Amino acid sequence: MDASPGAPEAPIPLWRRPMAWLRRMYDWVLHWAETPYGAPALFLLAFAESSFFPVPPDVLLIALTLGMPRRAWRYALVCSVGSLAGAALGYGIGYGAWESLRGFFIPYLFSQEAFDNVGRLYQDNAALAIFTAAFTPIPYKVFTVAAGVWHEHVSLAVLLAASAVGRPLRFFLVAGLLRFFGPPVKRFIDRYFDWLALAFGVLLIGGFVVVKKVL
């Protein structure tokens, strides 16, 4: 039976509260696809996500590609360039401003444990670690900022070179899937967003475990 008009809304279950916050952020990101500023917004989102913003640019890339499939490759390129520029910012934050901004990043954007794990990975194979983070759901921002902090193991050139392979590979793959398969993918994301958010969280955790064991 439907709730009567004016009745208070049912409280959001505890397990869904993080997804509810993420869903609001997701919807806010999506609304840019309905404005004339979609491509600039995509660049800025990719730029910000590479260092401090929580929502991946794939969300807006998907919406823009569905709205204008013929521009799929252009949007993937914009996303890639923005992400690489943001990686340079993340490196700069880690290199020159980490002590001042540490409290903003930890624990709000990533954990101290994850950050320390990335530092250990950089001592073994920095380029492979960066490529893996650039292409997979592992939070890329941890790697860009950590690269600046552990700059004795990772140069800016290595960060950008590995990212220049992994980031475009990811974004052009997303754009290509949407270019050829279109709206069904978007409907699937909208319908199963909460479950996808949970799965994404599991992938983040699993990704760190895999990278730690393999690299």
User: Token digits for 154?
Assistant: 């990772």
pLDDT digits (tens, 9 = 90+) for 33-50: 777 888 999 999 999 999
Nearest alpha carbon to residue 185 among 79, 82, 80, 72: 72
Which stretches of 40-162 are assigned E, i.e. beta strand?
A: none
Sign of CA dihedral 157, 162, 167, 173: positive
pTM for the full predicted model = 0.75
Extents of the domains making up the chain: 38-214
pLDDT digits (tens, 9 = 90+) for 123-141: 989 999 999 899 887 889 9
Top-confidence residue, 182 or 3 = 182
Q: What value does the mean pLDDT take over residues 72-92?
A: 96
101: Cβ–Cβ under 8 A, 6 or more apart, which residues? 93
- Give yes or no for residue 16 having a pLDDT over 50: no
DSSP state of 16: G
pLDDT at residue 108, rounded to an integer: 79
Buried b or exposed e, range 106-123, using 16+ CB within 10 angstroms: eeebbeeebbebbbebbe
Phi, psi (deg, nearest 5) at residue 205: -65, -45
* Residue 197 C-alpha from the chain's centroid: 12
pLDDT digits (tens, 9 = 90+) for 151-169: 999 999 999 999 999 999 9
